[in-house]
Amino acid sequence: MEFSFIGKPAVRLDGKEKVTAAARYVDDLDFGANLLYAAVVESPHAYATIKSIDTSKAEKAPGVVKVITGKDFPYKFGMYMQDRYIFAQEKVRFVGEQVAAVIACDAISAERAAKLVKVNYDVLKPVLKVEEALTIEGCNHSTSEPILIHPELKNYEHVPWFFPRPESNIAHIRKIRTGDMDKGWAEADHIFTDTYTVPRYAHCAIEVHAAVGLYDFSGRLTLWTASQSPHTQRHLFAEALAPLGVAHKDVRVITPFVGGGFGGKAGVSMEILAAALATTVRGNPVKVLWNRAQEFYNTYQRQGVLAQIKVGVKNDGTIIALEQNLYWDAGAYVEYGANVVNAAGLSASGPYRIPNLKIDSYCVYTNLPPGGPYRGFGYSEFLFGLESHFAEIAKKLKIDQIEFRRKNCIIEGDRLAYGGKMNPNGLQEAIERVASEIKWGEEEKTTTKAHAKNIRTGKGISLFWKAPAMPPNASSSAFIKFNEDGSINILVSAMEIGQGFLTVMAQIAAEILSIPIEKIRVETPDTDRNPYEWQTVASHITWGTGSAVLKAAEDMREQIFCLIERALGKERKDLYLKAEGVRSHSDETFHLLYKDFVISGIPMEDGTFRGGPILGRGSFMPEYTSAKSNPETGQGGKPNVHYTVGAAGIVIEVDTDTGKVTIPKVVMAVDAGRVLNPDLVKGQITGGVLQGLATALYEDMRFDDKGRLLNPSFTDYKIPTTLDIPQEIVPVMLEVPGHDGPFGARGIGEHTMIPIAPMLANAIEDALGIRIKSLPLTAEKIALHFQLHSHKLIANDNHSSL
């Protein structure tokens, strides 16, 4: 098939990339002189009972309009589990939880008055680690019974594929059981066990969370939000505020471009405050704006995990059995984070063919801030342990790392953990391409001239996979409308968060309708105008929203052909679209331009017209998926639509004195199904590699023994700079088309950071002979482990000489 706009770089005009995006129409929106500002009163305790709240002084402060507490909004909200209140009621469960809010005429007055609100607490002992929340075999824990953070767990509403354990701190457990574990252990020649840990991480989007709410006198609630989920927010706002008479038809969410998301602006977090507070000051817009510290401690964080892994293998390296217990630190509320735990549990076998599986993925309440979606959605976390463990096994069996993965990697038709079949994929080719690019098996010469005697080189590899983590009924829709000049507007509700989504949607429509991309405008979401989209998460937008746009464009094409056939008598099968119009296979002279009929219609000899405005509509839902399964085995249903797979390799240099890692080269091969825009895929690979290196080498959220975040700023929470990036990043794009995406495309946005941590850990082991089992892999940690390793070797040598 010949493509005009698909599989090619973005259009360039005058040497600059043409941006096919809507104007940021609310960026500088003037909300008027009656704009009010809110400041939130936050809990200083990780776990406490609220004994009383005194707002009297705050109410009398200059500029104050209203003071709100939990008694004004005793309503829960939540996406997958309703376990959280808009404002804390009887208890607070993490440092930073909102207890009250002050609405004032300006931001300074609101902040000053918020300090005058007096809250009397009865402080309780917080639960800050999963080891404290549960009794975990093999971990140190208190002999006393764990403190229940949510005693009323049994009463919480939740989606049917969650399985909470009442009277415990387990909000959900995803189990996988397949094969015969006893037989697997018996057949294994070797059994290897170990434990790996991953800390919490912050999203670090440059734009902080912000929302403005307006409840007007017609009963319309309008929100302007920095969000990945406009329609989901509308739904959750309407559900939470239904007791106030707010219905879905009354809620409008407008979202311009978002200055970074990475999952942190999915679902609903602080935006619910703007919605609720606006209802108390009717006719006045209310702004809620997080500062940088709040962005760290009072939005979703990436959950930490403790992974216990047990693997049985044959002498030739064939994996026979895998048992994995994943204990996720989900924080105080799991209304979104529990789905991360669910998705990870379904896929914790990694991209490997393993006949006997026992996986338990636990969503555990603690008194740290709520965990939630983060780029990779749990896969980065469990893959760190799994790929590190497999590398150790291959080393102990004296089997080449590449050969070990060749032998065990999953292929088309292999059985998945939950019983389905693996989709067509290019994983084996990805392994070969990466091995070739990093010259696997060849000795690497150091590129560092200074102090070369202290420099060790190493290479590492990791496989990866990920499925879109979404409900079985997650859907997308699109409208396309023609204008008088033959240009089109595409209305969709997915979000542009830097991934190039708007450009790709324009490419898909351009391919079907044969319209230059510069004559296509893609609009950012307004839930009153743009049709439904579940959320911009799960790397499913090119696949899901793209399918909706494809169907909308095909709908327009069908309308055009039917109109030409009805008005001009030309056979429909003889028509095709080209060069902004309709042409005929049998009549080369026929060329009817869009601008001449898509709005005005086709004139007839009797003076009448046929046609009218051409409007396309398309919707997409993967009707072949199901979350229905046996809760004890995970078998049955089809929870995942497909997997995107790949492999990554790295070449590093490590200074043995300082532990500093320099990276000459990173290679990533990803099977995108069909590459719709090579430049954007390269950008995703580069961005994913850099974000992955940040979490692997530098980032780490530190809490004290009272649950307070110690590093809520870019001064103390380290992220890399341009001086830390690899010298070379090699993107390798593979194409094994899928059966359901537009032109065979699958998403790749999250996948590109998933393998980075284990790949790097494996390279460090290759260079220095040390296996670090906890993230981040800081220079200090590397240097310390190497020193201990060296002293051990010296001691062993001395003992041998004796």
Convert the pLDDT of each residue in 554-564 to its tens digit: 999 999 999 99
pLDDT single digits (tens) 514-536 = 999 999 999 999 999 999 999 99
Check whether residue 679 and residue 785 sit in a common domain: yes
- Residue 288 has φ and ψ, to the nearest 5°, of -120, 125
Same domain, 452 and 550: no
**632 lies in a domain?**
yes
pLDDT band at 107 (very low <50, low <70, confident <90, very high): very high
Q: What CATH number does residue 64 fall under?
A: 3.90.1170.50
* Residue 454 shares a structural domain with residue 326: yes
In a domain, 205, yes or no: no
Give the per-residue pLDDT at 24.
Answer: 34
For residues 479 and 573, membership in a common domain is answered with yes
Given a cut of 50, whether residue 593 has pLDDT beyond it is yes
Average pLDDT, the chain: 94
Task: State yes or no: pLDDT of 12 exceeds 90.
Answer: no
In this predicted structure, what is the pLDDT of residue 2?
A: 61
Q: In three state form, how does the secondary structure of 551-593 look? A: HHHHHHHHHHHHHHHHHHCCCHHHEEECCCEEEECCCCCCEEE
Higher pLDDT, 798 or 722: 722
Run of H or E including 250: none
Give pLDDT tens digits for 646-675. 999 999 999 999 999 999 999 999 999 999
Q: Is the pLDDT of residue 21 over 60?
A: no
| Residue recorded with tokens 């708007």 | 502
- 693 & 748 share domain: yes
The answer to whether position 162 is within a domain reads no
Q: In this predicted model, which residue has the larger pLDDT, 452 or 389? A: 389
In a domain, 152, yes or no: no
| Tens-digit pLDDT profile for residues 250-295 | 999 999 889 999 999 999 999 999 999 999 999 999 999 999 999 9
Contact in structure between 610 and 567 (CB atoms under 8 Å): yes
Q: Are 430 and 421 in contact (CB under 8 A)?
A: no
Q: Are residues 719 and 777 in the same domain?
A: yes
Asked if pLDDT for residue 19 goes beyond 90, the answer is no
Active-site amino acid positions: 750
**Which of the listed residues 571, 594, 620 is the one where a domain comes to its end?**
620
Q: Is residue 613 part of a domain?
A: yes
Q: Cα separation of 83 and 81, whole Å?
A: 6
Does any domain span residue 161? no
Residue type, 196: Y
| Residue 519: φ, ψ to 5° | -105, 20
Q: Do 580 and 728 belong to one domain?
A: no
Range of the domain at 506: 15-21+475-620
pLDDT digits (tens, 9 = 90+) for 479-501: 999 999 999 999 999 999 999 99
CB-count burial class (<10 Å; 0-12, 13-18, 19+) for 192: middle
Q: Does position 28 have pLDDT exceeding 50, yes or no? A: no
Q: Output the pLDDT for position 453.
A: 83
Cα separation, 393 vs 408, in Å, equals: 13
Work out the pLDDT band at 7, boundaries 50, 70, 90: confident
The per-residue pLDDT for 664 is 97
- Residue 268 counted as domain residue: yes
Decide: 496 and 258 in contact? Cβ < 8 Å. Answer: yes
C-alpha 293/C-alpha 715 separation (Å) is: 11
What would the pLDDT profile of 40-89 be if each residue is shown by its tens digit? Answer: 999 999 999 999 999 999 999 999 999 999 999 999 999 999 999 999 99
Q: Is the pLDDT of residue 150 over 70?
A: yes
Per the structure, the count of domains in the chain is 3
pLDDT attached to residue 4: 74
Assess whether pLDDT exceeds 80 at residue 798.
Answer: no
Asked whether residue 583 falls in the same domain as residue 685, the answer is no
Strands 251-254 and 221-225: parallel
CATH number at residue 404: 3.30.365.10
> How far is it, in rounded angstroms, from Cα 350 to Cα 319?
12
> Does residue 756 sit in the same domain as residue 634?
yes
What percent of the chain clears pLDDT 70, i.e. is strictly above it?
94
- The confidence score (pLDDT) of residue 27 equals 37
* Section 318-346 average pLDDT: 98
- Residue 367 domain-assigned (yes or no): yes
Residues 227 and 116 in one domain: yes
Among residues 575, 597, 620, the one where a domain terminates is 620
Residue 386 near residue 350 (C-beta atoms within 8 A): yes
The structure tokens listed for 317 are 């390296």
- Decide if pLDDT at 565 tops 70: yes
Beta-bridge partner residues of 666? 650, 729
Cis peptide before 776 (omega within 30 of 0): yes
Sequence letter at residue 90: E
150 near 335, Cβ under 8 Å?
no
Give yes or no: residues 409 and 490 share one domain: no
pLDDT in tens, 406-434: 999 999 999 999 999 999 999 999 999 99
Average pLDDT, integer, range 567-575: 96
Same domain, yes or no: 660 and 774: yes
pLDDT band of residue 199 (cuts 50, 70, 90) is: very high
